[in-house]
Structure 1
Amino acid sequence: MLMTMGWLLSSFLVTVLVVRGSIGYARRRGMLDLPGQRRSHQIATPRGGGIGVVVAMLICLPGVLSQPPNAWPASVTAGLLSGFLLVAVAGWWDDHRSLPVLPRLLAQLVGIGLVCASLLATGTSWWWLFLLLPGGVWSVNLHNFMDGIDGLLAQQVMFVGAGLALLAYAAAQPALALAAAVMAVSMTGFWWFNRSPARIFMGDVGSGSVGLLIFAFTALLWQVEPALLWPAMILSSVFVVDATLTLLTRIWRGRRWYTAHREHLYQWLVRRGRTHAGTAAVYLGWNLLVAAPMAWLAWSHLRVALPITMAVYTGTSVAWLMLKRRCLRRDLSRMRHVAA
């Protein structure tokens, strides 16, 4: 228990100290996100604060994952840390100066590939690579897409990390449970600076890195017990649905889907007058009232976990469509009023 508390406290303190330092560093280097038509904030804000979470995880994860009982093989830890570091470096570079899409995607593919290779080395069939690789790359990018307003992504990572920790603990995987808890506690330290009004943004160094960690921890749970994939996916359902449906909508409408925009549901809620904190509260409410109890239901009834997960994603998609349509109607009504 003392060692567990030590790891949790260390991750929190390291994150807080590094984030505090990164605020001044970002200002000196001109790493500022300026307000604009495709942004949801109103003042110039430093970016790159996710480096605090990255440093904390690089320090804590090797010791946490190798902690008995049920320590993970060194090859798994090495693959996870190597892929995590590669994605973080690419994000850190992009936070300093824009990194073209192809090099960034290549870094993500290699990083996720390292994580997948470590799983394959433990006996997982290589056929799974065709699902794991795109799934991991999507996790990295969707968490980057959803990092657009104060506190939202940090809040989500805290929720998902806590949920994955509980699932791992219930599966008798204390090392994995502590790793997910360390991620959640570290993100709590960052959230203190990122809550509305944000003093610093996470930046690509943080958003892509935590996307990789959530994918990796979910994949490790799946390796322990395949049916645990479904409650783990339910925890991330609101982010997956918002990012995926927004991307598909932009592709269907023939827009440049890979460019910056403000068309995610959370961005539309802000555009229609909700505060950043109020919008984050909507997502938190959905997580606590829908995702958390349904994830518990799927965990407690693993034989029907897949249908439960499908029902959750269907319901989340319907809610997304209804709220998006409501936002669009208000926008159209406002435009007509201005024109009149």
Structure 2
Amino acid sequence: MSLPICFFLTVLLIGAELLYLKLARHLGLFDRPNERSAHLNLSTIRGGGFVFYLAVVCAIWISKLSLPYVYLGLTFITLISFWDDISSVPKWYRLAIHMLAVGLLTFQEKAFLDQWWLFAGVFFIGVGIVNAYNFMDGINGMTAFYSLVTVGTLWYWQVQQSGPGENDVLFPCVFVALLVFSYFNARRRAICFAGDVGSISMGFIILYGLLASINRSHTYLPILFISVYGIDTLLTIIYRLYLRQNIFRAHQMHLFQLLVHQLGWPHLRVSLLYALVQLGINGLVILAMNWLPISQFVLVGLIWGSLLIAYVTTRKRIGIVTKKESVLENRLYYIDLKNLENT
């Protein structure tokens, strides 16, 4: 993508974001904290991530990409997600649209249609990735930083596999949109959140990038490009199932949420930590691109094993700290109550 086009796209997306923020304030489209929110600010606009979809539209217009099923699926997901941002949509309606969109995406990448079990696995995991990506939006900078790393890596991987070409314009356009969104979101007090329209559409775009990279490289290594958030999500789901909780309800039990709520870490520190760890993993994956299959398998085991150990250790540490704080609070309450009785 040339510099003039990049400049024009940046100006367009900034203008579109500013216009949306003004319109959203007029219509009262503010984010209302729920069970997974990590903020109490009632003046933050939701839905600012619509620029991701706009970036894809620009990419298609600039280079005339031939991705009809991907674009159709993304449009369906964007519309239902934006509707949900404005007025709550029943979860089964959303899930049905997500399944339709992922089905269209899988059909676009025809390599997964050869065997039904492979198609079913890709379909199930794809729907999970799209839905799980939505939980990032509760932490300032998480969607922005993590997606910049992932999209940037997919862009680099694509260039390495096929060389510079017209198809490469998709990820540069989305990368620019993420930079624009980061300015409004990745700050101590966010001006806007991505909303469902942004986070879920970004999950869908990344899912397309992962499937396309797997198809072209004939290796499943690209799945490691979302391993940090993926391990966090998977282990959190297992833990919630162990507690017999409804995994479809909003919550604050992801590790990155606990770092903010229980340890009091700043949002941007947590977001930057996840992004940097993922960036380091992505670098290892790219180095392993031409390794022997057995070496790649060992690398996958080492990465996933390390992340699992880090997750369990950190969660236990958070539990110990929380328990100590609870005991201290109870002691202080007892002392205050005793002093009150003496007076």
> Structure 2 length as normaliser, TM-score?
0.89
CA distance in 2, matches of 1:35, 1:184: 28
Q: Deviations over 1:81-132 (max 9, x none)?
A: 0011111111101000111110000000001111111222x78525332122
CA distance in 1, matches of 2:235, 2:144: 21
Query: Counterpart of 1:204 in structure 2: which amino acid?
Result: D
Contact 2:77 2:201 in 1 (8 A): yes
Q: Which one has the largest radius of gyration?
A: 2
Counterpart of 1:276?
Answer: 267
Q: 2:104 aligns with which of 105, 114, 138?
A: 114
SS for the counterpart of 1:147 is helix
C-alpha displacement of 1:313: 1.5
Measured at CA, do residues 123 and 38 of structure 1 come closer, stay the same or move farther in structure 2, by a change above 3 Å? closer
Counterpart of 1:326?
Answer: 317
C-alpha displacement of 1:39: 1.9
Counterpart of 2:37?
Answer: 39
Unaligned segments of structure 2, at least 5 residues: 332-343
C-alpha displacement of 1:299: 1.7
Matched, 1:214 2:206: yes
Instruction: List aligned pairs for 1:76-225, cutoff 5 A.
Output: 77-120=67-110, 124-127=113-116, 128-174=118-164, 175-196=166-187, 197-225=189-217
Q: Deviations over 1:157-206 (max 9, x none)?
A: 11011111111111125344432232222111111100122100000001
Counterpart of 2:23?
Answer: 25
CA distance in 2, matches of 1:306, 1:5: 40
Q: 2:11 aligns with which of 10, 13, 26?
A: 13
Contact 1:146 1:243 in 2 (8 A): no
Measured at CA, do residues 260 and 19 of structure 1 come closer, stay the same or move farther in structure 2, by a change above 3 Å? same
Measured at CA, do residues 323 and 176 of structure 1 come closer, stay the same or move farther in structure 2, by a change above 3 Å? farther
CA distance in 2, matches of 1:306, 1:6: 43
Contact 2:46 2:192 in 1 (8 A): yes
Counterpart of 2:335?
Answer: none
Contact 1:149 1:267 in 2 (8 A): yes
Counterpart of 2:299?
Answer: 308
SS for the counterpart of 2:288 is helix
CA distance in 2, matches of 1:6, 1:79: 29
Contact 2:145 2:272 in 1 (8 A): no
Query: Counterpart of 1:49 in structure 2: which amino acid?
Result: G
Contact 1:17 1:52 in 2 (8 A): no
State the percentage of identical aligned residues. Answer: 23
Q: Deviations over 1:9-59 (max 9, x none)?
A: 344333222221222222222222234664211311110001112112122
Contact 1:48 1:203 in 2 (8 A): yes
CA distance in 1, matches of 2:151, 2:197: 18
> Structure 1 length as normaliser, TM-score?
0.89
Contact 2:255 2:315 in 1 (8 A): yes
Counterpart of 1:286?
Answer: 277
Query: Counterpart of 2:47 in structure 1: which amino acid?
Result: G
Corresponding pairs, count: 325
Q: Deviations over 1:300-319 (max 9, x none)?
A: 42533233123212211211
Contact 1:164 1:177 in 2 (8 A): no
CA distance in 2, matches of 1:36, 1:176: 39
SS for the counterpart of 1:161 is helix
Query: Counterpart of 1:98 in structure 2: which amino acid?
Result: S
Measured at CA, do residues 256 and 15 of structure 1 come closer, stay the same or move farther in structure 2, by a change above 3 Å? same
C-alpha displacement of 1:246: 1.1
Q: Deviations over 1:266-298 (max 9, x none)?
A: 11111111111111122133123x313322232
Query: Counterpart of 1:161 in structure 2: which amino acid?
Result: V
Contact 2:139 2:267 in 1 (8 A): yes
CA distance in 2, matches of 1:123, 1:157: 25
Contact 2:112 2:119 in 1 (8 A): no
Q: CA RMSD in A?
A: 2.0
Query: Counterpart of 1:263 in structure 2: which amino acid?
Result: M
Query: Counterpart of 1:216 in structure 2: which amino acid?
Result: Y
CA distance in 2, matches of 1:81, 1:36: 31
CA distance in 2, matches of 1:156, 1:18: 23
